[in-house]
Amino acid sequence: MTLGPPGAGKSTLVDCLIKRERKQGRRVAVIAIDPSSPFSGGAILGDRTRMQKHSTDEGVYIRSMASRGHLGGVSVATGDAVKILDAAGYDTIIIETIGVGQTEVEIIELCDIVLLVLVPGMGDEIQAMKAGVMEIGDIFVINKKDRDGADRLKTEVEYVLGIKNALTGEEPNPVLLASSKLDEGIDELVEAIHDYLKKAQATGRFEEKRRDRLEKEVYKIFSSKVHALLNIHLDIENNLGEWISSILNGETAPYNLINSKLNRFVKENEII
Ligand SMILES: Nc1nc2c(ncn2[C@@H]2O[C@H](COP(=O)(O)OP(=O)(O)OP(=O)(O)O)[C@@H](O)[C@H]2O)c(=O)[nH]1
Ligand SMILES: [Mg+2]
């Protein structure tokens, strides 16, 4: 996943990564969430964003996704898309997104690795660090190193990460300088990504993350099934009006009412 503010050069960077992956013969899929600027290949926005230079390559699939208009939210839609792309045989799946809202946090949970893309001279570097963004990245990319201030930003990021790592006792996260536009520093980044993944695999962190993800998914499915089951048995939709009236009349209170309904359900069905 590449995460970073609008215009940080995420798509340009993804473009560089695609090139490397294709050289290795790997198939790549990209989901860009709410892109405000087109991919560097010069593509059209909307739900058909595609990098022109890869559009004839069958091993590359690129789509943009609006964060609105998805039942269950964009994170659920993205999760489904990732599963389908994985099943379709894509070796590498990249999600590009901005910001750090709840949606992004949910999307991050889908990812094995998060590249946080920062750029010098945006004025919000320190602010971003304060806002907890630093907790999120696995690898930090200072893009647009051809611009002034990249080295200083790198030092600042390393300083903040140093404090974080001292508290958690974790190994320092890699901080790399790159210029996606000039295709510089990308080989080093790819190496850092592979190193990170190898280490995560060796320490079991990778497995743990996948396990957590599966646990959450199973729990979610379980909750929604239980909810649906109760809905059918208690006919909540049809009875809700009457229940609310009895609460308003002072005959019962929300918890009492629900507990008595659930108790009756359990007894009638001889669940306990
Ligand atoms: N100078 C310089 N410009 C760059 C670099 N990388 C990207 N850019 C330029 O920055 C602009 C934005 O790049 P994008 O790749 O579209 O940025 P993005 O982060 O994907 O933007 P959104 O999808 O809108 O959030 C483009 O004009 C790029 O050419 C770089 O390393 N150096
Ligand atoms: Mg983009």
Give the pLDDT score at 10.
92
Q: Is 12 in the pocket of ligand 1 (CB under 6 A)?
A: yes
β-pairing, 139-142 vs 175-177, is parallel
Q: Which residues contact 250 (CB under 8 A, 6 or more apart)?
A: none
Is the shortest distance between the CB of 185 and ligand 1 below 6 Å?
no
pLDDT of residue 86: 94
pLDDT reported for residue 73 = 78
For residue 67, what pLDDT is reported? 77
Q: Is 117 left (phi over 0), alpha (psi -120 to 50) or beta?
A: beta
In this prediction, residue 271 carries a pLDDT of 74
For the CA of 184, the nearest atom of ligand 1? 31
Average confidence (pLDDT) per 10 residues, the chain, 272 residues: 85 94 94 69 39 71 82 83 94 87 78 91 62 80 94 90 84 94 96 94 88 88 90 91 96 95 87 70
Question: Residues with beta carbon < 5 A to ion ligand 2?
Answer: 10-11, 35
Q: Compute, in angstroms, the gap from residue 90 CA to the centroid of ligand 1.
A: 25
Neighbours of 16 (CB within 10 A): 24
Q: What pLDDT is stored for residue 218 in this prediction?
A: 92
Q: What is the spatial distance between Cα 140 and Cα 199, in angstroms, rounded to a whole number? A: 17
- pLDDT value of residue 99: 66
Which residue puts its alpha carbon closest to atom 21 of ligand 1? 7
Domains (ranges, CATH) in the chain? 2-203 (3.40.50.300), 211-268 (no CATH)
pLDDT of residue 127: 57
Ligand of minimum distance to the alpha carbon of 3: 1
What stretch of H or E contains 63?
A: strand 60-65
Nearest residue by C-alpha to atom 15 in ligand 1: 9
Q: Is the pTM of this model over 0.85?
A: no
| Of 96, 115, 112, residue with least CA distance to 33 | 96
The residue nearest atom 23 of ligand 1, judged by CA position, is: 35
Q: Which of 13, 36, 37 to mutate to test the pocket of ligand 1 (most atoms within 8 A of CB)?
A: 37
7 CA distance to ligand 1 centroid (A)? 5
